[in-house]
């Protein structure tokens, strides 16, 4: 996760999970 810092950060930015 350290190596892929930006992807990790962008995924962690909060959005509520979508469950249809």
Partner 1 sequence: IPPPAKKPLTKIVSHLLVVEPEKIYAMPDPSVPDGDIKALTTLCDLADRELVVIIGWAKHIPGFSSLSLGDQMSLLQSAWMEILVLSIVFRSLACDEELVYAEDYAVDEERARSSGLLDLHVAILPLVRRFKKLRVDKEEFVTLKAIALANSDSMHIENLEAVQRLQDSLHEALQDFEGCQHPEDPRRAGKLLMTLPLLRQTATKAVQHFYSVKMQGKVPMHKLFLEMLEAK
Which parts of this chain interact with partner 1 (CB under 8 A)?
A: 1, 3-8, 10-12, 15-20
d(CA 5, CA 11): 10
Report the nearest approach of partner 1 to the CB of residue 16 (Å).
8
Report the nearest approach of partner 1 to the CB of residue 1 (Å).
7
Report the nearest approach of partner 1 to the CB of residue 17 (Å).
4
d(CA 17, CA 8): 16
Contact 1, 8 (CB under 8 A): yes
């Amino acid at each position: 996760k350290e190596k892929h810092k930006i992807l990790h950060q962008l995924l962690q930015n909060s959005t509520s999970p979508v469950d249809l």
